[in-house]
Structure 1
Amino acid sequence: MTGSPWIAGLAALFLWWFSTGAILVVVRMVDRRGPRAAQAATLAGLPVLGLGLWLYLVSLPGTGTGAAYQGFVAALLIWGWIEFAFLTGTVTGPVRRPCPPRLPEWERFLRAWGTVAYHEMALAAALAGLLLTGWGAANPAGLWTFVVLYFARVSAKLNLYLGVPHINTEFLPAALAHLPSHFRQRSLNWLFPASVTALSLAAACWLERLLAAETAGSATGFALLTAITLLALAEHWLMVLPLPDAKLWRWMLPAPPALNETTREDPNGV
């Protein structure tokens, strides 16, 4: 049953929705308790990272459907902890102030990079580690899942920096209240067509390999990759289409904390 590509696709959709919701719920909870609670929660989540790394290594020599799911879940766990560390404000960057208006473009870019520098380094280090241990393995599902997530996220950040019509900042915690000042709202930017084209081609590549797969394990892996790439593509289109995607998780989240004006301007006092 779990070897069906349709089941794998639905599983990828559910795991993406559930893991995103779980992260948002915990982030919202610790956001109500202050920076120390956020840092403590990030440290408490380290076993999740450890589980993801262990599961990834265990999945590499496998060739069945179980190994494909293991690799996929492992990538989500590793990715999820790093994203959680970012959203709690624990692993972000040295720049934690809003971006002043009317800056030269080079300075605006450096400031924007400074808001996410440590986070980007952590993601790049994780990607390098997964590549070193997983390249050429019998089961590449976990590795390619992380690769898709990584490049889709880099693309999304660059599109937000360059400017898109619709920017959802509803779920940003207090620690990242300065981020929207580094975004730009405009009708379109030069990178967006290239981003959606690349993701479409990647999804088509996974789908072609899914249709040509000779084993259930291979088919499951490529079905999971097709689904997660299509989700990344959908997230990009949501930056230009006015669809209420926030409703997918809003109903499950506790109310956001009330922020005073000082917190809004500089949530970390830096």
Structure 2
Amino acid sequence: MTVPVEPPPPAEPPAPAPAGPYDGRANAVLGRVPAAVRTPVLEAGGMILLLGRIVHSAVRHPRGYWGSVVDEMYLTIRQAWIPIAAALFGFLMFMSILTVQFFAMAGASQLFGPLLFLQSIRTFSMWIDSMVVAGVIGTALTADVGARKVREEIDAMEVMGIDPVRDLAVPRVLSITFITTLLAIPSMLITMFSMQIGAAYVAGMPASHFYSNLFSNMSPVEVASVVANHFLVGLLIGTICCYKGLNASGGAIGLGRSVNQAVVLSFVAVWILQLAYNSLLLGVVPGLGAFR
């Protein structure tokens, strides 16, 4: 008697590919990277993409947003000029008094103005400017754009065919960039004035000697490098704050978290930018800042 052979069970169908941002073959490798490493890289890439879209929109279609840029600059300057001036004057006055005492004890008071001023406008004043811009202007930008995102206004704009990058990001990023660039000249004047007061109060240095030594060691390259540095810092802070606002989520708590993250990321990014910018600048112009 022949025993019937049962047919083998049918093979199970292959498991469906997981749906999500890492469902592709190439992206699956990225999905295995720990979140602590993956998230900062993705955010940096998103900021670079946003910056590219802003520059492309502003250059390709340079009309229609300048009125919004002027309005944003007016409102921002009206709200932020007092804390910016107070922070610059207070910090630099304190540093000038301490530094001029050191130069006076070393018998080199005539070197105080040129050396400290050239280093201050390149590093310390730039850092103070970036902190004030990110803390005062950047937080307002992130909160404004983030509130629109939380209230789903940006989603409604996309449904109506309005580009939120063109309508929201371009005017705000350009306004904060121009404000930071224009801040370079008042920042240098406040630095110069506060240092002169510190030199006259502590070391008894006449104003004529201070400004004579200072202007004999300045060059147009110094001023141009400071203005270009402010431009890059403003563009960087504006892009970071706008990106965090456009990607805010989680209601009011998430919006507050995005504002805090925008300020912290701006400080870190400015520090990295200054390290690269000053290294490149001193490499291209090695005699910059030398005493003459």
TM-score class normalised by the smaller sequence: 0.3 to 0.5
**TM-score normalised over the length of structure 1:** 0.34
TM-score, normalising length: structure 2: 0.32
Relative to total residues, which structure has the larger helix share, 1 or 2? Answer: 2
* Bigger radius of gyration among the two: 2
